[in-house]
Amino acid sequence: MMIRKLLVANRGEIARRVIRTCRELGISPVAVFSDPDAGAPHVREADAAVRLPGAAPAETYLRADLLVAAARKAGADAVHPGYGFLSESGDFARAVLAAGLTWVGPAPEVIDAMGAKVAAKRRMAAAGVPVLPDLDPESATEFPLLVKASAGGGGRGMRVVRGADELAGQVAAARREAESAFGDGTVFCEPLLERARHVEVQVLADAHGAVWALGERECSIQRRHQKLVEETPAPTITAEVRQRLHQAAVRAAEAIGYVGAGTVEFLLADDGRFHFLEVNTRLQVEHPVTEAVFGLDLVAWQLAVAEGERLPQRPPAPRGHAVEARLCAEDPGRDWLPSTGTLHRFRVPGDVRVDSGVEDGSEVGVHYDPLLAKVIAWAPTRAAAVRKLAAALERAEVHGLVTNRDLLVRVLRHPEFERGATHTGFLDEHGLTARPEVDARPAALAAALALAERRRGTLPLGWRNIVSQPQKTVFEHDGEIIEVDYRHARSGVETSFGVTVVNTSANVVVLERDGVRTPFPVSVHGDRVEVGAVSLKLLPRFPDPRAEVVEGAAVAPVPGTVVRVAVVEGQRVEPGAELLVLEAMKMEHRVLAAAGGTVTRLSARRGQQVDAGDVLAVVEA
């Protein structure tokens, strides 16, 4: 059957990615959207769009009945699930097929078989694929171990447990997160292989028995068990290990009668031994690096296989190297707290591919994951691809939100990454999540001068009644207060920062230090001033005396939903004790007591929606 109109049962960058291939193939794309996504780019780029009333995933993108109804209402004849949400739901695939629509993916029975992770491991072991043993999540005695969600993936519902005293709490947290993300709170445990590498093989199979192994991807740079940087081919592995990985992946696909694009994931030890993790019965977030190296369109092949087309006898030969970085709205220096608000400007320069779900003016809320975009670089060699990607990220303009951009650049330029010495504990081992020391004073001076240019109207820059007094502007950067003083003299602008002002305008200020001139691009969005990669907050000269600070207050670090209250009023707590747990962007975030004392006020309850800065509890010494 030839597909003419395709419903994309997803959102954000993957929806735009599928729509792009539909345009190239002459297929009419149909989008779905929740209320917060009504103005999203993927909605505008589709030929038609159907509203899913509500905001939370459970009432919108996780509703199989609404998605099937949307497909029928729009006259679609096929459904592409993207990734995440219901992409690995056998019941959703069955509902699509029962409605007489074409399902772009493997058979529901295959999805079910691989979705039950424990049973999937047993099936892989029977097929000769090496696996890790299962541990009982209720009574495990071998530590460290990893608690994992049986349904879904993407790092959600995963917790590291290093001792028996942590087991019950981490299992409960993993179940809550898995239930929220996938609608299934079932979890299981495996031994934790520390310093192992996360390597996966892209497979593509047709309905006629052909299975391709399209190289392997190195996905070891992770935070909270979620990938941040992926590349292909995997560095530093031998040809013999590569061949065994590919053979194991093909055996896995053949053992379950796989059809479509999928990924077989493994943990790889230093000695070359590897263990099966799971089969992702869908397209992966990191599929663009495989497309870049093999010169093909995996979404186009998904659609062709769904239409019954045969794969050629041999896959295309790989060429060069590709690296992908996930640009996310989150703060690595604050335990990966998500960042929400308006994305005022989004630009990524250079010879790179950008798959994004956002644009200038996009609103980033708390209901969905923090991924803003994937930036992919290809080059003939690994070193060239890594250098190209780091430069593009460094020069990117991402204004209005805190992101992980600087962390990604530090990873890509780290000597150990450059030589391919990666593993799943890479960020912690090298202390890359800590905030680096940044001298933001030159950027603050540039901001102050640019703001003055914007204000001056017909008056000369720096004009004032008392010329002997300096101009003063105050900014906040990463919790630090920066006061900028400068004065206009006959010789030019005098500053206390040891720099020379060469040129000023409302958008660019050129400063010189030690004979080196540097342009500082300045962009202003309300009280936020973006100077290159430095984000500043303009502070009022005369603070509001009515501003109240509640001593001992524990405030919400981000907008979200209270999913757990761990204390009661009157309870005595120690410093660092867990007070509440918030859920935002599909992840849990703990709110801890800054100091020991007594809980004298508890302002939040389970299920309550809170805003950033809301006082949730007060602990008095």
Question: 320 and 385 in contact (C-beta within 8 Å)?
Answer: yes
Q: In the sheet where 102-103 sits, what is the strand order? A: 48-51, 28-33, 5-8, 78-80, 102-103
Instruction: Give me the mean pLDDT over the 594-609 stretch.
Output: 91
Nearest to 151 by CA among 86, 94, 200, 60: 86
Given pLDDT bands bounded at 50, 70 and 90, which one contains residue 152?
A: low
Closest by CA position to 538, among listed 609, 592, 588, 472: 472
What is the 3-state secondary structure of 45-86?
A: HCCEEEECCCCCHHHCCCCHHHHHHHHHHHCCCEEECCCCCC
- Look at residue 466 and give its three-state secondary structure: coil
d(CA 521, CA 447): 9
What pLDDT is recorded for position 457?
58
Give CATH 3.30.700 domain extents, the chain: 441-538
Which residue ranges does the chain devote to CATH 2.40.50.100?
A: 553-620
pLDDT at 463 over 80: no
Distance between CA 86 and CA 62 in Å, rounded?
Answer: 6
For residue 38, the tally of other CB atoms under 10 A from its CB is 10
What CATH number labels 441-538? Answer: 3.30.700
Q: Is the peptide bond before 519 cis (omega within 30 degrees of 0)?
A: no
- Answer yes or no: CATH 3.30.160.150 is held by domain 133-191: no
Phi, psi of 463 (to 5 degrees): -65, 135
Distance CA 428, CA 424 (A): 9
- Residue, of 499 and 378, whose pLDDT is higher: 378
pLDDT grade for 185, boundaries at 50, 70 and 90: confident
- The closest of 248, 400, 224, 393 to 323, measured between CA atoms, is 393
- Asked whether residue 250 carries a pLDDT value surpassing 50, the answer given is yes
pLDDT of residue 549: 54
Looking at residue 462, its pLDDT comes to: 47
Q: Name the one residue in this structure whose structure tokens are 């962390």.
A: 407
For residue 351, the one-letter residue type is D
Give SS3 for 456.
coil
At 443, the pLDDT band (50, 70, 90 cuts) reads: very high
Region of 315 (left: φ > 0; alpha: ψ -120 to 50; beta: rest) is beta
Q: pLDDT for 252-267, tens place per residue? A: 999 999 999 999 999 9
State how far the alpha carbon of 321 is from the alpha carbons of 151, 231, 236, in Å: 32, 7, 13
CA distance 270 to 267: 10
Give me the phi and psi of 553, to 5 degrees please. Answer: -75, 140
436-443 mean pLDDT: 90
- Where does the pLDDT of residue 154 fall: very low under 50, low under 70, confident under 90, or very high at 90 and above? low
Collect all residues with Cβ–Cβ distance below 8 Å to 121 and sequence separation of at least 6: 131, 132, 134, 276
pLDDT at 561 exceeding the cut of 50: yes
CATH 3.40.50.20 region(s) of the chain? 5-104
What are the pLDDT digits (tens) for 43-77?
999 999 999 999 999 999 999 999 999 999 999 99
Longest dimension (CA), the chain: 86
Q: Given 156, 282, 405, 441, which residue is catalytic? A: 282
Q: What is the mean pLDDT of the chain?
A: 92
Q: Is the pLDDT of residue 355 over 90?
A: yes
With pLDDT > 70 as the criterion, what percentage of the chain qualifies? 96
The structural architecture, per CATH, of the domain 197-429 is 2-Layer Sandwich (3.30)
Of 244-258, 304-318, 510-524, 577-591, the least confident: 577-591
- pLDDT for residue 157: 81
Q: CA-CA distance, 160 to 171, in Å (whole number)?
A: 10
Arithmetic mean of pLDDT, 481-492: 85
CA 399 from centre of chain = 17
Determine whether 282 is an active site residue.
yes
Least confident of 85-94, 95-104, 325-334, 535-544: 535-544
Q: Given pLDDT bands bounded at 50, 70 and 90, which one contains residue 438?
A: confident
Residue 178 near residue 149, CB atoms below 8 Å: yes
Query: What pLDDT score does 545 carry?
Result: 46
Instruction: For residue 608, name the pLDDT band (cuts at 50, 70, 90).
Output: very high
- Residues carrying CATH 3.30.470.20, the chain: 197-429
pTM: 0.86
| Confidence grade of residue 461 (pLDDT, cut at 50, 70, 90) | very low
5-104 CATH choice from 3.30.70.141, 3.40.50.20, 3.30.1700.10, 3.40.50.12780: 3.40.50.20
Q: Mean pLDDT throughout 455-460? A: 61
Would you identify the CATH topology of the domain 553-620? OB fold (Dihydrolipoamide Acetyltransferase, E2P) (2.40.50)
- Give the pLDDT score at 547: 47
Strand, helix or coil at 426? helix
Q: What's the confidence (pLDDT) of residue 458?
A: 46
Burial class (CB in 10 A: 0-12, 13-18, 19+), 469: exposed
| Confidence tier at 557 by pLDDT (50, 70, 90) | confident
